[in-house]
Structure 1
């Protein structure tokens, strides 16, 4: 099997393991689902200006719904796992690399969410409990990797907009992708491509996301464990 196909399948297996473990523990599952919803609210607050921007709102919404949202991607993942060899065979290599990054990001996010859910006592999340869970989790390198993967996927999608032949190839893939059971993956890629093309340049958008995410990570891991709810203009004080 192609190495990249094996990598994608390994990441999807990790996602399945995390999902099954939470499914066997309803309390943990509830805590993680509530965490995902809180994180979506956190993103919406952090990027309220981009979500309101005529130029950037669609890209911000794409990040919010496809990369940060609490949505149930189990059907997409199951569909995806069945057709990974077809993905590697049919899609352009650049696109396959992005798909591999997406799978790794998904697996890493699921691991982090499960870890935080185990460290939190109930299904309600607020600013202080979110900070405490991250600090107890103590996975600063993994959080940085999560940021890097998110930005790499965004940069790849932006790069595709400068390759009109690639957009044409994606469009031509609709029929084969649908026949092979890859419709949701096809829609993700096309939506991402079109969303980033609308921006007419994503450098500022991606730089803003990196600056804000890394500032939050540094605030989370660069100080002693929180014993009170932070306020003010620092990144922690701006959490929901």
Structure 2
């Protein structure tokens, strides 16, 4: 049985490259350059995010230090990270089952993606990305947030939460130059849903044509 870790890295690299291609037009705009890079590398980059994701489970230890952040915001981040990890693992399992080489192409990736058969979870993932980005945009409007992030760096280091703190700090700073965040967010949501529906077109059509069980 092939090791999963190399496939996971290859999957992340392919997804990051795909996002760069699909959103090159947005990233070319100065206001979206930093947030685009955050999206491509910090959310879907070919790196081991296990330390960050583990530390995220203790975000409640820092929440009270961040003005405007509520537990629900933390819960959404955790749900998004957990769901993304699970969905990636399921695609990796399908790639291995298909005997895909480590340098698998987009066609093989989309085949494994489709065979994972988790359309509803993918819809939820897109919505969580959307909600999380809106939350970040809301929090950046609070001028105290940047100060709080700078002041809590030492505390995060002491608590062993430097990876998740860096993630939050980079995300915050990437949104600061953005003038029209809704356009960035909704463009991502619409394009990702269109892509999802394209990949699952056959299954969706079959479900529409299936007789009602009522």
Same fold (TM over 0.5): yes
Q: Residue 12 of structure 2: which of 23, 30, 36 is its match?
A: 36
Structure 1 residues 85 and 52, CA gap change in structure 2 (3 angstroms): closer
Contact 1:160 1:167 in 2 (8 A): no
Please name the residue that 1:108 is paired with.
83
Q: Distance in 2 between matches of 1:51 and 1:152?
A: 20
Q: Residue 143 of structure 2: which of 152, 164, 171 is its match?
A: 164
Could you list the per-position Cα deviations for residues 14-63 of structure 1 after superposition, in whole angstroms to 9, with x for gaps in the alignment? xxxxxxxxxxx643332222111111111111111122221211111001
Q: Residue 45 of structure 2: which of 65, 69, 88 is its match?
A: 69
Q: Distance in 1 between matches of 2:70 and 2:176?
A: 16
Report how far residue 127 of structure 1 moved: 2.2
Q: Distance in 2 between matches of 1:91 and 1:161?
A: 11
Please name the residue that 2:36 is paired with.
60
Please name the residue that 2:212 is paired with.
none
Structure 1 residues 97 and 66, CA gap change in structure 2 (3 angstroms): farther
Matches within 5 A, 1:198-213: 198-213=177-192
Report how far residue 84 of structure 1 moved: 4.5
- Structure 2: where are the runs of 5+ without partners? 205-214
Alignment coverage as a number of residue pairs: 200
TM-score of the pair, normalised by structure 1: 0.74
